[in-house]
Amino acid sequence: MKKNTAISVVLFVLLVFSLFISGCAKDLYATGGSNEQQVEEKSQEEIQKELEAEEERRRLEEEEKKRQEREKKEQALKEELGPFYVPLPPEEKTDNPRVKARGIYLTGNTVDLENRYSQLLELIETTELNAMVIDVKNDHGLMSYPSEIEIVEQVQANRKAPIKGIKEVIEDLKKRNIYPIARIVVFKDPNLPEHRPEWALQKKTGGVWRDKNGVAWVNPYEKKVWDYNIAIAKEAALLGFREIQFDYIRFPENAKRVDQVVNYGDNGVSKDEIIEKFLEYAREQLKGYNVHIAADVFGVIATSWGDSDKIGQTWERMTSKLDYICPMIYPSHYGPGYFGFRVPDANPVGTIKAALTDSIKRNASIKNPGIIRPWLQGFTASWVPGNISYGAEEIRVQIDTALALGIDEYLIWNASNRYIKEAFRPEEEFKIKVEKLKKLREENGLDVLGKTTLQAIEDFLRAFSKKDWREALVLHANNFTMGYENYKDWVDSWTGKISTYEIKANSTSGEKTIYEVDLNIIRDKDTIKLKGQKFEVYKENNIWKVKPSNDFLKVLTEKPSVEEVQKNQN
């Protein structure tokens, strides 16, 4: 019993001693652990700070490297361009989405007139209008604001520049959500030839050529003229203009008379080809400047084929190089008899409809054509015999006629910049009208020309039967493999001719309508019967177009034996 008690006492003493030692160790560990943790946390903070400092150092080095590289590029560009130098665009681009612009034209002088300019701002902000086309280089070859480009200063194009605060003007338009378009008059430039006569059109007998008004034109074949205007376009883009609109992208009118006396040089390049090359060059040069590119063209080039007026404007060559093509379809600009009207100016609805229909058709065969944004008439052409007064109603019907053809953007021209508020709807009302017309077309299966798929294939077969290559080109869905340059030759090469055709059943497949067609084709006095040919109809460039069957095209264009073809049909 005593032995057990002794053992118990010893165990108790050992337990107490163990607990004491354990507690001391725990306290010591806790204290030591806490100190060690504090040291560790402090080290982590220091390490983090060191990492952040290193990261910042590298960032600054990278920025400095980029800055030096940009300085080198700027210096190289200065040496390359000389007096045509304009700074590089900023590396960070701001958003510049496409805008359905509905705008008015303003001269620099109007922008400088505070009261008138304020009234026009109010007009835009309270109506469907949302854009301003502002002269940057005007019809006199003079700048609307003081340019900082050396060549502009050399040729004194800055004299009389009315807008002193162009940056403030653009910034204000941005705040008001008004789309700014820079109008640059290109090849009609009365100022430039007076300072650089070697850049002007020259007479065959020597010396600068001038038109009947005594105005000299610059030479579209002269690359320095290109660089001069593109430098101005770059500067306008850097100032905040969101679109560059080139005007007078052409040679002088009355070409038959002008060509007799002007020496264009032995360059082997046609007028419309050099205009196309200018637009290609402008697009390449402006690529980094974050602007859309537009050009004003004569309205008649949508109706005539090729460069019929010999001014260098061919629709297909130009629309394919532009974001926006702006035909000037003022009814007053069409002569007697155009579109069947004795006085087109007195028939704004019919004239606008015919001109825009032709424009839509000309875009139809082009892959990625420019968007059609027409110039409409906002003035009375008192000099036109039989003219009518253009008030609010005459302006409005032009806009509505364009809307009916699916064209919901436009520009109004009035040289004196006087516009009638009653001609324009409230913005919300305009948008409702646009959606209503769009829904109506969709519900009735119509394209922008007002045709159904059935009407489209009927017109297509009729055009093929008559070998009407212009209308056939408009309606032929050939994946843009043939254009206006070679389509006529292709039609002329046909060995067969459609004698009769009958449109049978149709079915739908996705967005396509498939028609079965029976045809009789005559070739070498033989009649070849094609039955159940499948013709697909679908939309390209907003109109219904037709893709015919391969067998049909083969019989029409090749020379297989009659027996072979008839065998394939049975």
pLDDT of residue 40: 52
pLDDT of residue 436: 98
Q: What's the alpha-carbon Rg for the chain, to the nearest Å?
A: 36
Can you tell me whether residue 326 is helix, strand or coil?
strand
| CA nearest neighbour of 326 among 297, 363, 292 | 297
Task: Report d(CA 475, CA 305) in Å as an integer.
Answer: 16
pLDDT of residue 63: 79
Burial of 352 (0-12, 13-18, 19+ CB in 10 A): buried
Instruction: Specify which residues 143 forms β-bridges with.
Output: 137
pLDDT of residue 562: 53
Tell me the pLDDT tens digit for each residue of 362-405. Answer: 999 999 999 999 999 999 999 999 999 999 999 999 999 999 99
The dihedral through the CA atoms of 344, 349, 355, 358 has a sign that is: negative
Instruction: Fill in the amino acid letter for 142.
Output: L
What pairing do the DSSP bridges indicate for beta strands 131-137 and 179-185? parallel
What one-character-per-residue DSSP string does 151-204 give? HHHHTTTTTT---S-HHHHHHHHHHTT-EEEEEEE-S--SSHHHH-GGGB-EET
The dihedral through the CA atoms of 483, 488, 489, 490 has a sign that is: positive
Task: Give the pTM.
Answer: 0.88
Q: Distances from the Cα of 156 to the Cαs of 136, 143, 146, 193, in angstroms?
A: 15, 9, 10, 11
Instruction: Find all residues with CB under 8 Å of 161, minimum gap 6, and list them.
Output: 108, 142, 143, 144, 145, 146, 147
Tell me the pLDDT tens digit for each residue of 194-221. Answer: 999 999 999 999 999 999 999 999 999 9
Q: Which residue has the tokens 């510049």?
A: 96
CB 549 within 8 Å of CB 490:
no
Residues of the chain with pLDDT under 70: 1-42, 560-570
CB 474 within 8 Å of CB 365:
yes
Instruction: Fill in the amino acid letter for 9.
Output: V
Burial of 205 (0-12, 13-18, 19+ CB in 10 A): exposed
pLDDT of residue 55: 84
Q: Distances from the Cα of 470 to the Cαs of 451, 484, 540, in angstroms?
A: 18, 8, 17
> Interior CA angle at 457 toward 453 and 461, to 5°?
170
Instruction: Find all residues with CB under 8 Å of 375, minimum gap 6, and list them.
Output: 296, 326, 327, 328, 329, 330, 410, 411, 412, 413
Instruction: Fill in the amino acid letter for 406.
Output: G
